Amino acid sequence: MEIRIERTTAPKPKPDQKALGFGKYKSDHMFMMNYTPDMGWHDMRIVPYGPIPLEPDAVALHYAQETFEGLKAYRTPSGDIQLFRPDMNAKRMLNSNRRLCMPEIPEDMFVEACKTIVAVDADWVPSEPGTSLYIRPFMFTSEGQIALHNCSEFIFCIITSPVGAYFAEGINPVKILVEDEYVRAVRGGTGFAKCGGNYATAMIGQEKAERLGYSQVLWLDGVEQKYVEEAGGMNFMYFLNGEAWTAPTEGTVLPGVTRDSIIHILKDWGIPVHEERMTIDDLMKAGHDGSLGEAFACGTAAVISPVGALNYRGDEITINDFKIGETTQKLYDYLTDIQWGRIADPYGWITTLK
């Protein structure tokens, strides 16, 4: 595929790599392409990062026809740059787009676009420990139309951002509030899709959690509000009597790339993994009787974030004395060693930039 490259004439100063935070800074360029039914995907280009003009009646702004992805580029000890499982993001975006009646982007086109924008902004891939270049592909309906019908004009764009830890706590445990009023996803809905609408409706739970002093919300199922599903912006996993548990990805839970990678690793280590539903009552009981050994949230942005406390309806349990668990630490070390290229990747998950 041919990508036109228009380089900025005004490169931005690079931020302090020791104080990146998450998502505050944007690199110099962005990838864009357009879709129309007669031309398919066309006009692939890399242009200086900047505003995208939109008609005020663009459907994305009114009816939230929008999907996105999140992956990272890592600087290896030898100075090379590598991506982690970009094919998984491409596949997930296909599924999200199908659910939102948006055109598909072929996997190789998606991966090529990610690699090219990172190569153009290679000097934005940080090298400080724990930092990376977050890649945010997103797609939306650019067509203007107030009536509610499916549209035919779309824009796909990729921006990137040099990032450090997602949580201010870093790898230290976070506190999570279980949401019992609002729900995130229902059967037949968009829970499995990575679309802006899911995060917009989840904002109220996240806002409430933060207002009450918690870093994340934990969502329960949308029908009975009984079963543990996922955290605000990431999946949720825990260990009961040494065995790992996480909610199944059967429609209402996001099929996380980090979640999938961790399941692979745990199984290889001989640790049983239950992708099964568990009620919040049973989880809280396990917290009280000591069988809940460790818990963590996981996602591309957060990597692996230990959970030190869980509050459900005022009942708060402390997990592993509010310390990172042994298996959580081992998983974090192993996964991040692969991602940052400190050890060989036995799974074929790494895509190196040529």
Sites of contact with ligand COI (CB under 6 A): 70, 233-234, 299-301
Q: Are 97 and 139 in contact (CB under 8 A)?
A: yes
Query: Residue 1's closest CA among 27, 38, 31?
Result: 31
Write down the least CB distance from residue 222 to ligand COI, Å: 19
Shorter beta-carbon distance to ligand COI: residue 173 or 299: 299
Q: CB of 215: closest distance to ligand COI in angstroms? A: 12
Minimum gap (Å) between residue 301 Cβ and ligand COI: 3
Three-state DSSP class for residue 349: coil
The answer to whether the Cα torsion of 214, 216, 218, 222 is positive or negative is positive
Which among 268, 331, 347 is positioned nearest to 84, based on CA atoms? 347
Instruction: For the CB of residue 23, give the shortest distance to ligand COI in the complex, in Å.
Output: 7
* Contact (CB, 8 A) for 49 and 6: no
Per-position DSSP letters for 192-217, written without gaps between them: TS-BHHHHHHHHHHHHHHHHTT-SEE
What tokens were used for 341? Answer: 């290229």
Residue closer to ligand COI, measured from CB, 70 or 205:
70
Is the Cβ of residue 70 or residue 341 nearer to ligand COI in the bound state? Answer: 70
Of 84 and 239, CB closest to ligand COI? 84
326-339 and 257-268 helices, crossing angle to 10°:
110
Tokens of 44: 């692939």
Comparing CB distances to ligand COI, the nearer of 219 and 287 is 219
Closest CB to ligand COI: residue number = 70
| Least Å from the CB of residue 233 to ligand COI | 3
Sequence-separated (6 or more) residues with CB below 8 Å from residue 11? 28
CB closer to ligand COI, 143 vs 179: 179
- Shortest Cβ distance from residue 299 to ligand COI (Å)? 4
- Tell me how many degrees the CA angle 164-165-169 measures, rounded to the nearest 5: 145
Cβ at position 291, least distance to ligand COI in Å: 29
Nearer to ligand COI, 58 or 202 (CB): 202
Rg (CA), the chain: 20
